[in-house]
Amino acid sequence: MHSSLSPIYARLQKSMVDLLEEIKDQPDTVLNENPAKGGWSVLQVIYHIVLVEEASLAYVKKKLSFGEEIPKAGFKQAMRAGYLKTFIRFPIKVKAPKIVGESNMPVDIRFWEVLKKWKDNRAELEEFLNQMPDDLLKTELYKHGLVGKLTPKNMLIFFELHFARHRKQINKVLKEVKYVV
């Protein structure tokens, strides 16, 4: 994996491992409990995070399979990345794209199923990043639904910011449900 990606990937891994370690002893009934005012349960939020990363990697792989030349990243990509980094920090609710939203969200999820799906997805992501040629680092390989084309590094930064945003949501849900410390 390129040295510019490995620290971001390591932080991504640590943040999810820390979260899963924190909640692993909770019963699935608690982790599947939706907040009283509506919204996703803890496991639904984690499942959403996993789906976003899975769909993003699938997009990148499909784009590469076409064999077309991928545009080099430039000033516009940098602006889009800056916009995304700023926007995602605001507490503005954004409707999730259909592929990673309500319609693909199981109602009752088992912790160990989410853990396996996450581990499988991260193994695939790590393998992809380890095999990715360095010349793709400065290309608009990834397309974010809100801001458009980004570099692979900015895709990982999005994953990190997306996780942090939903970690706050998870913390709120955990406070509301019968979470046992």
Quote the number of domains for the chain.
1
Residue 180: its pLDDT value, please? 61
1 within some domain: no
**Nearest C-alpha neighbor of 4 from the set 137, 131, 155:** 137
181 within some domain: no
What does the alpha-carbon distance between residue 10 and residue 14 come to, in Å, rounded to a whole number? 6
Average pLDDT, the chain: 91
Say which CATH number the domain at 89 has. 1.20.120.450
Which tokens sit at 63?
A: 């784009």
Residue range 155-169: mean pLDDT, rounded: 95
Q: How would residue 89 be classed by pLDDT, with cut points 50, 70 and 90?
A: confident
133 within some domain: yes
Residue 120: its pLDDT value, please? 97
Domain boundaries, position 170: 6-176
99 within some domain: yes
Residues 36-83 have pLDDT tens digits of 888 899 999 999 999 999 999 999 999 999 988 999 999 998 999 998
Q: Do 129 and 123 form a contact (C-beta atoms < 8 A)?
A: no
Residue 102: its pLDDT value, please? 72
